Amino acid sequence: MARQTETKDDAISQLWHQLEKRRTSMLAVRDSQQHPQPMTHFADVENGAIWFISSSDSDLVKATGLGADAQLTFVSDGQDYHASVRGPIEVTNDPDKLDELWSFAVGAWFEKGRDDPKVTLLRMTPRESAVWASQGNAVLVGLKLLRASMSETEGHPDVGVHHVLQLNT
């Protein structure tokens, strides 16, 4: 269950924790006219980066070119945490980082494994994120929705928190 954070610092820590916990997201290069695509991401809290491994002949890498703005969309396994992360993305040549991130699962996407010349490392530096954390108990959320819909004075149901976070600034 996603914790409902009170402070911006707690919300930033929670974002990185959620990105480390589940490593699949949807990634899009902004202004490229491409649909977001599913990617495995690697959260790097220490360096304030999110890494991706792709193929040099992919639409994603071609759209990135020498640098672009990207948007990552993330939903937790419990569907109680959602994030939209924006920031610059670039192709980078960092053999040590690639070795650190490499796994048999990544290798399955490349004909020649780690030595495939198409292996391309992408680095996204998050600048802004909008996050939503809600109560994971579906019954409790349903009761709050029902109560709010039946009341003329209740207003919107309180089922979570929303933060817009500035990162790496």
- Give, for all 169 residues of the chain, the pLDDT tens digit: 455 566 889 999 999 999 999 999 999 999 898 899 999 999 999 999 999 999 999 999 999 998 899 999 999 988 889 999 999 999 999 999 999 999 999 999 999 999 999 999 999 999 999 999 886 655 655 665 566 666 666 666 555 788 899 997 6
**Contact between 123 and 141 (Cβ < 8 Å):** no
What is the helix (H) or strand (E) element at residue 30, kind and residue range? none
Token look-up 């709050």 returns 144
d(CA 53, CA 39): 8
What is the helix (H) or strand (E) element at residue 160, kind and residue range? strand 160-166
DSSP 35: P
pLDDT at residue 119, rounded to an integer: 98
Tokens of residue 163, six digits: 């933060």
Tokens of residue 90, six digits: 């670039």
Tell me, rounded to whole angstroms, the distance of Cα 163 from its chain centroid: 15
DSSP 93: -
